[in-house]
Chains A and B, each alone.
Chain A
Amino acid sequence: MEHHQNSGNLLRQGVNVFIILAVLTALEFAVAVTSASMLLLVTMAIIKAGLVLWNYMHVSKLGGEDEGHEDDRESYAFKTETNRLGLWLFLLSDAFLFAGLLVTRFNLMGLTRLPLNQTLGLVVTSVLLISSFFMNRAEVQMSQGNKKGFTTNIVITIALGVVFLLGVLGVEWRLAAAEGVIASANAASAAFYMMTGMHAFHVLTGVIFLLIVLRNTGKGLYNEEKHWPVEAATVYWHFIDLVWIFFYPALYLIGRLM
Chain B
Amino acid sequence: MNRLTQPGWVRGLLSLVFGLALGSQGLAFLQFLATKTYNPFDVGSWVLGSVVAALTFFAGAGGKKVFHLALMRGLGWQFLGTLAGGFLAEFLRALLPDMEPFGKFGFSEPAWVLGAIVGAVSFLAGAGVLTDWFKWAKGESTPEHHHDPDGWEKYFGVSLDHKVIGVQYTFTSLLLLSYGGLFALLFRTELAKSGMQFLDLNVYNTLMGLHGMVMIVSILLGIAGVMNYLVPLLLGAPDMAFPRINAFSFWIAVPAAVLLLSSMALGGFDTGWTGYPPLALRAPVGIQMFYVGVWVAGWSSILGALNLIVSVLRLRAKGMTAFKMPIFVWAAVATSIISLTATQMIGLAFQLVIFQRVVGMPFFDAAKGGNPILFQHLFWFYSHPVVYVFILPGLGIISELLPVFLRKPLFGYKWIAMSSLAIALVGFLVWAHHMFASGMNEYLRVPFMYSTLLVAVPTGVKFFSWVATIWQAKIPRDMPTPLLFVFAGIFVFLLGGLSGPPNATVSTDLHLTDTYFIVGHFHDTMFGGYVFPFFAALYYWFPKVFAKRLDEKLGKIHFWLMTPSFIFLTLGMMKIGLLGMRRRIADYDPALGFDIWHLLLTISAYLVAASVLIFFINVYKTLKNGEPVTGNVWNSRSPEWQVPSPMPAYNYDRPFEVVGEPYDYGVPGSTYVKM
| Interface residue ranges, A against B (CB under 8 Å) | 73, 81-82, 85-86, 89-90, 92-94, 96-97, 100-101, 103-104, 107-108, 183-188, 190-191, 193-194, 212, 215-216, 219, 221
- Min CB distance B361 to A, Å, is 4
Most chain A CB within a 10 A radius of its CB, from B356, B360, B369, B374:
B369
Cα distance A82–B314 in the bound complex, in angstroms = 7
Cross-chain contact A89 with B360 (CB below 8 angstroms): no
Complex contacts, B363 vs chain A, CB 8 Å = 104, 108, 187, 190-191, 194
Question: Could you list some 16 contacts between A and B, CB below 8 A?
Answer: A85-B313, A86-B310, A89-B309, A92-B340, A93-B302, A97-B344, A104-B352, A108-B371, A184-B360, A184-B361, A187-B363, A187-B369, A187-B370, A187-B371, A190-B356, A190-B363
For A218, the closest partner residue in chain B by CB is B139
Chain B residue nearest in CB terms to A193: B361
Residues of B within 8 A of A219 (CB): 139
Interchain nearest-CB distance for A123 vs B (Å): 26
Contact B348 A104 (CB under 8 A): yes
Q: Which chain A residues border B306 with CB–CB below 8 Å?
A: 86, 89-90, 93
Q: Which residues on the A side are within 8 Å of B349 (C-beta)?
A: 100
Determine whether the beta carbon of B345 is less than 8 Å from that of A100: yes
Tell me the bound Cα distance from A101 to B361 in angstroms: 14
Considering the chains assembled together, what is the distance between the CA atoms of A92 and B310 in angstroms? 13
Given known contacts A104-B374, A108-B369, A183-B359, what 6 new A-B pairs fall within 8 Å (CB)? A82-B241, A93-B340, A97-B347, A100-B381, A187-B362, A190-B361
Nearest-Cβ distance from residue A139 to partner chain B, whole angstroms: 19
Measured between beta carbons, the chain B residues less than 8 angstroms from A73 are 315
Shortest beta-carbon distance, B342 to chain A, in Å?
A: 7
Q: Would A82 and B310 count as touching, CB distance under 8 A?
A: yes
A191 cross-chain contacts in B, Cβ below 8 A: 363
Please measure, in the bound complex, the distance between the C-alpha atom of A107 and the C-alpha atom of B349, giving whole angstroms: 13
Interface size for B (C-beta < 8 A) is: 40
Asked if B368 contacts A187 (CB within 8 A), the reply is yes
Q: Which residue among B302, B310, B340, B359 has the maximum number of chain A CB atoms within 10 Å of its CB?
A: B310
**A97 closest partner in B (C-beta):** B344
Nearest A residue to B655 via CB reads: A73
The verdict on A194 contacting B355 (CB below 8 Å), with A73-B315, A187-B365 known, is: yes
* Chain A residues, CB < 8 A from B347: 97
**Nearest opposing residue in chain B for A229, CB measure:** B136
Expressed in whole angstroms, the Cα–Cα distance for A216 and B315 within the complex equals: 30
**Which 4 residue pairs of A and B lie closest in terms of their CB atoms, listed nearest first?**
A190-B361, A187-B370, A96-B344, A184-B360
Q: Is B434's CB within 8 Å of the partner chain A?
A: no
B588 on the A face (CB < 8 A): no
A216: chain B residues within 8 A (beta carbon): 137, 139
- Which residues of the partner chain A approach B369 to less than 8 Å between Cβ atoms? 108, 186-188
* Residue B242 interfacial (CB < 8 Å): yes
Is B378 an interface position by the 8 A CB rule? yes
Q: Give chain A residues whose Cβ lies under 8 Å from the Cβ of B365.
A: 187
B438 contacts the other chain (CB 8 A): no
A185 to B363, alpha carbons, bound, how many Å? 10
Q: Which residue of B lies closest to A81 (CB)?
A: B314
Most buried by A among B302, B348, B356, B378: B348
Asked, given contacts A86-B310, A93-B306, whether A184 binds B359 with beta carbons under 8 Å apart, the answer is yes
Question: Of B309, B341, B364, B370, which is within 8 A of A96 by CB?
Answer: B341
Q: Which of A93, A97, A108 has the most CB of B within 10 A?
A: A93
CA of A108 to CA of B355 in the docked complex: distance in angstroms?
A: 16
| Shortest beta-carbon distance from B117 to chain A in Å | 13
Report yes or no: B360 in contact with A107, Cβ–Cβ below 8 A. Answer: no
Most buried by A among B302, B355, B361, B378: B361
- CB-CB contacts below 8 Å: B409-433 with A: none
Q: Given the known A-B contacts A82-B314, A194-B352, are A183 and B360 also in contact in the complex, defined by CB atoms under 8 Å?
A: yes
| Nearest residue, chain B, Cβ from A89 | B306
Encoded as 1 (CB less than 8 Å from any A CB) or 0, chain B from 232 to 268 comes to: 0000000001100100000000000000000000000
Contacts A104-B363, A187-B371; A94 near B241 (Cβ below 8 A): no
A-B pair number, CB within 8 angstroms: 99
Task: Tell me the interface secondary structure of chain A in the complex.
Answer: helix
A93 near B344: Cβ-Cβ < 8 Å: yes
In the assembled complex, B637 has its CB within 8 A of some CB on chain A: no
Query: A86 is contacted by which of B242, B361, B370, B374 (Cβ under 8 Å)?
Result: B242
Complex contacts, A101 vs chain B, CB 8 Å: 348
Which residues 485-535 in B have Cβ within 8 Å of A in the complex?
Answer: none
Is there a chain A Cβ closer than 8 Å to B193's Cβ?
Answer: no
Q: Quick check: is B377 within 8 A (CB to CB) of the other chain?
A: yes
A221 touches B139 (CB 8 A): yes
Chain B residue numbers with a CB within 8 Å of A190 are 355-356, 361-363, 370
Q: How far is the CB of B346 from chain A (nearest CB, A)?
A: 10
CA distance A188 to B307 in the complex (A): 37
When the two chains form their complex, are residues B378 and A89 in contact, meaning their CB atoms are under 8 A apart? no
In the complex, per-residue mask of B357-400: 1 if CB is within 8 Å of any chain A CB, else 0: 00111111100111100100110010000000000000000000
Partner of B344, one of A82, A100, A184, A212: A100
B295–chain A nearest beta-carbon distance, Å? 12
Closest residue of chain A to B137 (Cβ to Cβ) is A212
A100 touches B310 (CB 8 A): no
List A contacts of B348 (CB < 8 A).
Answer: 97, 100-101, 104
Complex CA–CA separation, A20 to B306 (angstroms):
34
A103 engages B377 (CB within 8 Å): yes
Chain B neighbourhood of A103, CB < 8 A = 374, 377-378
B101 shortest CB reach to chain A, Å: 20
A207 to B3, CA, bound (A): 55
A186 touching B368 by the CB < 8 A rule? yes
> Which of B137, B343, B368, B374 is the one whose CB lies under 8 Å from A107?
B374
Instruction: Give A226 to B348 CA distance when docked, in angstroms.
Output: 36
| Chain A residue with the shortest CB-CB distance to B303 | A90
Among B241, B314, B378, chain A packs the most CB atoms within 10 A around the CB of: B314
**Alpha-carbon gap, A235 to B384, bound state (A):** 32
Q: Closest CB of chain A to B371's CB: distance in Å?
A: 6
Mark out the residues of chain B between 287 and 302 whose CB falls within 8 Å of any chain A CB in the assembled complex. Answer: 302
Say yes or no: A100 contacts B378, CB within 8 Å. yes
Q: How far is the CA of A158 from the CA of B377 in the complex (A)?
A: 37
* Distance to closest chain A CB from B60 (angstroms): 42
Asked if A93 and B341 make an inter-chain contact with CB atoms under 8 angstroms apart, the answer reads yes
By a CB distance below 8 angstroms, the chain A residues around B368 are 185-187
Q: Which residue of A lies closest to B340 (CB)?
A: A93
Nearest CB in chain B: distance from A115 CB, A: 15
B378-A104 in contact (CB<8A): yes
B594 to chain A, nearest CB (A): 40
Q: Which residues of B contact A108 (CB under 8 A)?
A: 363, 369-371, 374
Cα separation A100 to B371 with both chains bound (whole Å) = 15
Whether the pair A96, B342 counts as a contact (CB closer than 8 A) is yes
Which of A86, A97, A107, A221 is in CB contact (< 8 Å) with B241? A86
**Which residue of the partner chain, among B340, B345, B356, B359, contacts A89 with CB atoms under 8 Å?**
B340
Q: Which of A94, A97, A107, A187: most chain B CB closer than 10 A?
A: A187
A85 and B359 in contact (CB under 8 A), knowing A93-B306, A100-B348, A104-B374? Answer: no
Complexed CA–CA distance, A194 and B355 (Å): 9
**B662 vs chain A, min Cβ distance (A):** 22
Q: Contacts of A104 on B, CB cut-off 8 Å?
A: 348, 352, 363, 374, 378
Contacts of B364 in A (CB 8 A): 187
Contact A85 B314, beta carbon cutoff 8 Å = yes
Name the B residues within 8 Å of A107 (CB-CB): 371, 374, 377
Chain B residues positioned under 8 Å from A194 (CB to CB): 352, 355, 361, 363
Residue of chain A at shortest CB distance from B346: A100
Residues of chain B within 8 A (CB-CB) of A184 are: 359-362
CA distance A151 to B405 in the complex (A): 63
Contacts of B309 in A (CB 8 A): 89
Given A93-B344, A190-B363 in contact, is the A85-B310 Cβ separation under 8 Å? yes
Of chain A, the residue at the smallest CB distance from B365 is A187
Residues of B within 8 A of A187 (CB): 361-365, 368-371
Bound-state CA distance A132–B187 (Å) is: 57
Docked Cα-Cα span, A101 to B363, in Å, equals: 12
Enumerate chain A residues within 8 angstroms of B314, measured Cβ to Cβ. 81-82, 85
